Copies of this chain bind each other. A is one copy, B any other.
Amino acid sequence: MARLREFDYEQVLDGALQLFWRGGYEATSLDGLLSEVGLSKSSFYGAFGSKHDMLLASLDRYIETVLQANIDDLRRGSPRAAIIRSFEKILGFQPTSKTCFLQVCAIERGGHDQLVRMRVRRGLELLEEAYRDAIVRGQEAGQFAADADARVLSTFLVANLYGLQVLGRANMAGDARKKSLATIMKALA
């Protein structure tokens, strides 16, 4: 019934996500974004609505791809090993590396952008639930203290995960940062 779009919607969305992720929302110009992904303004506004709409779509996309992959990985193998694996991934990041996109959005826009805040919270909750599952399974397997509140421990893990990313972003205390994983795991047992 009409002309077909010539670009791949998800491919463009992934490109936008990368740019917002690296540079943040405000610092990423629409013109720059469009030339990067090779899209005209008409096509962009026709398909995505606005820059802010695209941020929200990028955030959703991040949750259902990148974050979901991390969540899936938390279900693989021994709960204890999976948790350690998830932290080692973060700890191996280079100084100026990207932090989780949820964190970028939470800090840049969480204070005044309710639509962003709702999505960030949903993403964090999904991650927290995945950690909680891992902890419960670990408790059942005798890896962690069975009398502890799994909800509190999973929130504790998420907080540590994001806190370590902040320290990493500032290139701070690389050695102590890596050693803190032992402290974190000890708190579970």
Contact = CB atoms under 8 A, between A and B. Distances in A.
Interface string A148-187: 0101111110111111101101111100110110111011
Contacts of A164: 159, 163
A176 B124 CA distance: 13
Interface residues of A, number: 55
A90 to B, nearest CB: 11
Given A98-B111, A117-B170, A128-B172, A180 B155 contact: yes
Interface in A108-149: 108, 110-112, 117, 120-121, 124-125, 128, 149
Interface of A: 22-24, 26-27, 95-99, 102-104, 106-108, 110-112, 117, 120-121, 124-125, 128, 149, 151-156, 158-164, 166-167, 169-173, 176-177, 179-180, 182-184, 186-187
